[in-house]
A and B are shown apart, each in its own frame.
Chain A
């Protein structure tokens, strides 16, 4: 491969989880710079999402869009990433300005890239600029060099595919051999042709003896990477992964890790069995409680759903009794995989491929399109990964267009073919059109927020109504907030999760809060006050995980038996104490859980400021589509009439229910909208925001974030 620029460097040692070095690469100027981070940087911004936020806050502006040269693609683990003695430490964050939301997006991703980047001497990598021709970056700690190279030209398949390209690249850079000292991130051709492009994280799995992949799925990080002309980044370090963080208190790390591993080993087999089934286990539970996002989130349950339950994937596809952690030392090991799956659709039909997944969200996305075929799930999963498309946004967007088609907002002439729910052939065709920016795929690849504008124009002209009127109708079931598509849960029966999606700073992704069960099923959040408290606390804990390089599942999806004796079992506080101990032992700190939550709140407020600057930070941006609150159409009401009637009766007390279904529906919608607005008021107060959702000056000052930019911004908003 042709080297365009190269520097020599001495990889910094890791001490207490940090290297205190940032690698900056400008693809326009081909400049490679290693920057020392000042000591207070880590104290204030922690790592991962915090580092990405600070770099975006300082390095981009209000006019910055995803394809602006100054947009920065940040990749950062965190102080607790890279410790085989503690479960779930392979995570890293990719943060940037999103092509979907025009504001900050971060997506967490597993694999070896984050840990190896740290071992190669860097807490974070920040890529800016736009290359003139496609490039790859190679950070090689073993040879003490960092190189920008012309992207190799392989054959058409390798050049278009994210997985294929990454596998070939990793082999080429290691003399044709696989090694767990190398890892890569890549973006496929589809990522450049759609706004919901993903980045694949590729690593060598010694047990399976092949390259595996995890994905940064949400918000179009892959689109940014591809737009920059960056096809891949490879990192290599042969430094020992054991005690890779060079913890200050190694025995403390060992103890904390042992305690968590013990809870996982004894409790996961009694609970979700993630180690056996991965997250596909959730499909059955979501279906049971009317949460499965069937037909564009219209219905939460279907008799056909059983075809997509975990047992089906385990029986037919998953390798059994294979611990599948995405990084060393994780005994939750939920990264399930199916091998030698024969493709029956698309350009590679007939080929046998390995599918890393599916995760629950991909299964949900297929149900969102009204499809209940497990083999299709695997094919959809693989093609999305190979092309570089987010399975969630692709499924939600196609589901939206299917509903537009079925309700007559668009026609087969508009699309080029019929696009009804459950039509596998149409989805297969459309998926490849999206990846190649052909036909109707060019429209769908823009996502729901832009897609509904396209439909509104068509429908308004045909129906003789204003475009605004058409848009208002479509917005009721266009499942996006801030420009990001919903992840795969129906929220009609959980006000707390409506807030969980609406207030999520990046848009409706559940990694800020997932309160459906404690609200809807356990009924542990009966009051607005309870819901608001949860909507403050859970996002702070979850933000902390994204700042430190950790996977949340060992905390949130394995209930510690000791939690039963606590006041709020859902917080799983006994397990959180292991994390506090792990943080302190690694970094040499003496922090309490509240200290860590305060650190996290600083990042949360900083992200809110970025949103405000980018036009996505006020109450208007937190509003959710009607379908997230309740039924939009009569068929939805009818499918859960008993529940909705019961809910209305509770609300009305002694007042009689209206007689007609239409009047009941109308009343329900009015009450649901009212409830959401009341929730906004209370949540904003809890978070230290004005009624318009803007942080109060004292909130910004409390966390030391009142720099010149923040001062000017708050003044603009009258604060």
Chain B
């Protein structure tokens, strides 16, 4: 049986506490973009309080724009800005 193509969202910091998960997998559909995943996560976990103004996305450890097209096995994270105390 063919394996489903997936992307994963990795949770960090308080996101892991709130979601009680290290990561979730999302089926990769044609034309899936970072923004689609952002919306999906925001809707599934409203307590994360994700908003576009204070969050940035990484795909496979590199900063990525919200309109980036995703490929199979991509790992996405949504992170706060950090500027060093």
Contact = CB atoms under 8 A, between A and B. Distances in A.
Given A272-B13, A276-B14, A561 B84 contact: no
B14 A561 contact: no
A258 interface: no
B68 interface: no
Contact of B52 (A276, A510, A563, A564): A564
B12 interface: yes
Nearest to A288: B12
Contacts of A714: none
Contacts of B81: 271, 517, 559, 569-570
A61 interface: no
B85 A521 contact: no
A561 B63 contact: no
Given A270-B51, A288-B61, A522-B63, A572 B12 contact: no
Size category of the binding interface on chain A: 35 or more
B49 interface: yes
Given A273-B14, A285-B13, A289-B61, A518 B54 contact: no
A279 interface: yes
Contacts of B48: 270
B1 interface: no
Interface residues of B, number: 25
Contacts of A523: 63
Given A281-B13, A311-B16, A561-B54, A270 B80 contact: yes
B19 to A, nearest CB: 12
Contact of A556 (B53, B56, B84): B84
Given A279-B85, A521-B63, A557-B85, A285 B54 contact: no
Contact of B83 (A309, A310, A314, A517): A517
A281 B80 CA distance: 11
A271 B55 CA distance: 8
Interface string A556-588: 110101111000011010000000000000000
B79 interface: yes
Nearest to A500: B84
Given A310-B13, A521-B58, A559-B53, 6 more contacts: A282-B82, A288-B12, A311-B16, A515-B84, A562-B53, A564-B54
19 contacts: A271-B80, A272-B80, A272-B82, A277-B14, A285-B13, A288-B77, A310-B13, A514-B84, A516-B84, A521-B58, A521-B63, A522-B63, A556-B84, A557-B83, A557-B84, A559-B53, A559-B81, A564-B53, A569-B81
Contact of B12 (A284, A556, A562, A563): A284
B50 interface: yes
B24 interface: no
Contacts of B53: 559, 561-564
Nearest to A281: B13
Interface in A475-489: 489
Interface centre among B52, B61, B82, B84 (most CB of A within 10 A): B84
Interface in B12-46: 12-14, 16-17
B50 A556 contact: no
B30 to A, nearest CB: 29
Contacts of B52: 564
Nearest to A282: B82
A311 B54 contact: no
A311 B55 CA distance: 20
Contact of A271 (B54, B63, B77): B54
Contacts of B12: 284-285, 288
Q: Which 7 A-B pairs have the closest CB atoms?
A: A514-B84, A271-B80, A564-B53, A561-B53, A270-B49, A556-B83, A273-B14
A335 to B, nearest CB: 12
Given A270-B50, A276-B14, A522 B56 contact: yes
A608 interface: no
Contacts of B79: 285
Contact of B51 (A518, A561, A572): A561
A281 B52 CA distance: 21
Interface in A336-370: 360
Contacts of B58: 521
Contacts of B13: 272-273, 277, 281, 284-285, 309-311
A517 B84 contact: yes
A440 to B, nearest CB: 33
A552 interface: yes
B80 A553 contact: no
A383 to B, nearest CB: 23
A314 B14 CA distance: 11
Nearest to A552: B85
Contacts of A272: 13, 80, 82
A267 interface: yes
Nearest to A523: B63
Interface string A587-625: 000000000000000000000000000000000000000
A269 interface: yes
Contacts of B17: 311, 314
Interface string A310-352: 1100100000000000000000000000000000000000000
Interface centre among B54, B63, B77, B85 (most CB of A within 10 A): B85
Nearest to A565: B53
A517 B82 contact: yes
Interface string A64-104: 00000000000000000000000000000000000000000
A269 B54 contact: no
Interface in A503-526: 510-511, 514-518, 521-523
Given A267-B54, A288-B61, A522-B63, A556 B80 contact: no
